[in-house]
Amino acid sequence: CAAETLFQKYRTMMQDHSVTDYLRSHIRTVPDWPSPGVQFRDITPLLQNPRVFRVLIDAFVHRYMEPGLRPGVVAGLDARGFILGSVTAKVLHDADCPVWTGVHMEAARVEDVRLGRVAVGLDLRSQSERTLMWARRFAQETGAEMALVHAMPCVSAAAGEPVDPEWQQRMEAGAQEEIDGLLRRLGWAAPVLLASGEAPETVCRLARDWGADLLVIGRGSASGILGRLRANAYSIIRQSHCPVVSV
């Protein structure tokens, strides 16, 4: 059938060097950008076409499928790495490995990094317990204090409608109760810091005001009114005053 013929052509292409030429033909050269004499290689066409992008990912995967070459963890760095590395990692495996990142970390020395206080950003979704358990274990191993931070959504009334003064209190009490229940299930005790506002700014501000040396956030829960850390992970990393571990 037509689908089988197309698959055979695709497999043949993947087995020889024509795949390299195929991918190269979809890389655009922008002369004299960003400065005269520079030939900038734009990979946007590789990412725009689903079929070409599939060939690109398969080229990565097939290169490292052999047991002796297969990596334990794939870390996607920088903008292109985020796109290519994350998809490649998902195809090869779904490794459980937290990533430590921070703004301008290349200028810091390992011996200058202090870990006396660990703040844990919770979004009260399914990932929260796993994130908290990882942070607790890390804090115990390093002898650090631990505090929980949670950003509640801002409460605003529609135009012409009064704001319910008790709504914010009820929302804060509900969040506190859920966090207390999580701590009781785990048999732990830790300070809980709550505030309303946009998730990145609020989480970073709470961690900074508490004097955190490390901020731990989860990256596996869905986004929603209270589950906003995954969608805002990059903003949190950029705005955090301290290193961030994304679990």
Give the residue, 24 or 66, on which the prediction is more confident: 24
pLDDT above 70 as % of the chain: 70
pLDDT higher than threshold 60 for residue 15: no
For the entire predicted model, the pTM comes to 0.61
Q: What is the predicted pLDDT for the residue at 80?
A: 73
Q: Which two tokens stand for residue 1?
A: 């059938």
Per residue in 120-170, pLDDT tens?
999 888 788 888 999 999 999 989 999 999 998 876 655 556 566 677 788
Q: Transcribe 106-153 into DSSP letters.
A: GGS-GGG---SEEEEE--SSTTHHHHHHHHHHHHHHHT-EEEEEEEEP
Strands 192-196, 99-101: pairing kind: unpaired
Q: How far is CA 205 from the centre of its chain?
A: 19
